[in-house]
Amino acid sequence: MRSPRDVWPDEEALVHLVRDAQGGRPGALDALLVKVRRSFIAYLAPILGRDDAEDAAQLALLSIMRALPRIDADRALSYVIAVARNRMGKARRRLALAQRRFGSLDLALAVESPAAADRDADYHELARALRASLATLPPDRQDLLLEPLRPVNPSTPVAGQHVHPATVRTWRKRARARLRAALASRR
């Protein structure tokens, strides 16, 4: 950071600018704000960067403008430096908060989605319940119940086993009821 003499305006010149602005002389407020703005930018930019320094300088100028009637002209330089340090502290806190709030995109990509983990767990739990429910049935009925999931002609296994389609529907209905009961007991 630069030394105070390099950044801040001359104390006597600042005293005159503040007194003129407080007295209402035309253009005095603009001259004061232009002079102080350069100092704010020079003080804040090395640490905050140009854009954030501009934002902080604007806020500092607004606070100086609001407090102008109450500023002691003989201590104006101390007041301006205090405002700049205050803005620097607030900007640093805001930047630190932003850095904590937002992480690296690489870190975000490495994190597994909790929704995907829940979905996988639900799928595996349902698959276990289905297998347990099917295990209670004879193998020929298991084949008939799983038939709609296979890409074959649905009437072929029924015709091959000489089972009436109404009987297959009844078996499926009972198997679905058992599966519902098994799933309900897991919740």
Task: Give the model confidence (pLDDT) of 166-183 as tens digits.
Answer: 887 887 788 778 777 777
Residue type present at position 146: L
Do both 56 and 145 map to the same domain? no
Low-confidence ranges of the chain (pLDDT < 70): 1-5, 103, 108, 149-161, 186-187
* Predicted model pTM: 0.51
Q: Print the domain residue range for 159.
A: 114-186
Do both 57 and 121 map to the same domain? no
Render pLDDT for 137-153 as a digit per residue (tens, 0 to 9). Answer: 788 777 777 777 666 55
Please tell me the predicted confidence (pLDDT) of residue 4: 52
Please tell me the predicted confidence (pLDDT) of residue 3: 47
Between CA 2 and CA 180 the distance in angstroms is: 76
Between CA 113 and CA 59 the distance in angstroms is: 41
Number of domains the chain contains: 2
Do both 15 and 42 map to the same domain? yes
Please work out, in degrees rounded to the nearest 5, the angle formed at the alpha carbon of residue 9 by the alpha carbons of 6 and 15. Answer: 155
Q: Count the Cβ atoms, other than its own, within 10 Å of residue 144.
A: 21
- The residue to which tokens 């519902």 are assigned: 180
Do both 66 and 93 map to the same domain? yes
String of b and e for 62-76 (b: at least 16 CB within 10 Å)?
eebeeebeebebeeb
Do both 17 and 91 map to the same domain? yes
